[in-house]
């Protein structure tokens, strides 16, 4: 079974703090993604990576950065957390670009910024 794990289920941080969200997958997938999920807005792509040290901006990259030093790990960084970054963050991974390209999701991290 593919497993995507996220470092925390719940996180509470203060405005201005630097926040790290970690994601690890165990299926040797090339592609990894970070989304945020907000009610009524669905999933919005923040960043994705198709290889180690490679990254591409998604639809809402402002205020975020990412790091992919190893194939299995993709980190999302909030350099200076703000209240409008309170959200559910979902990590996903997928392998290759052929076939139907299923994305496998972690359980999510609910981040609250006070």
Q: Out of 20, 101, 112, 114, point to the residue binding other proteins (CB under 8 A).
A: 101
The alpha carbons of the chain give a radius of gyration, in whole angstroms, of: 13
Smallest separation (angstroms) from other proteins to the CB of 6: 8
Alpha carbons 69 and 20: distance in angstroms, whole number: 14
Interaction with other proteins in 61-80: which residues (CB under 8 A)? none
With contacts defined by CB under 8 A, name the span among 11-19, 62-70, 75-83, 106-114 that binds other proteins: 106-114
Coil, strand, or helix at residue 101? Answer: coil
Pick from 21, 25, 31, 68: which binds other proteins (CB under 8 A)?
31
């Amino acid at each position: 079974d593919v497993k995507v794990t996220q470092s925390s289920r719940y996180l509470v941080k203060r405005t201005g703090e630097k926040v790290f969200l970690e994601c690890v997958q165990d299926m040797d997938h090339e592609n990894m993604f970070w989304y945020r999920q907000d009610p009524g807005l669905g999933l919005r792509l923040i960043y994705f990576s198709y290889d180690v040290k490679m990254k591409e901006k998604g639809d809402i990259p402002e205020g975020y950065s990412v790091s992919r030093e190893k194939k299995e790990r993709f980190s999302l960084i909030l350099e200076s957390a703000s209240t409008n970054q309170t959200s559910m963050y979902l990590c996903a991974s997928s392998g290759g670009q052929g076939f139907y390209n299923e994305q496998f999701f972690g359980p999510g991290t609910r981040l609250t910024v006070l």
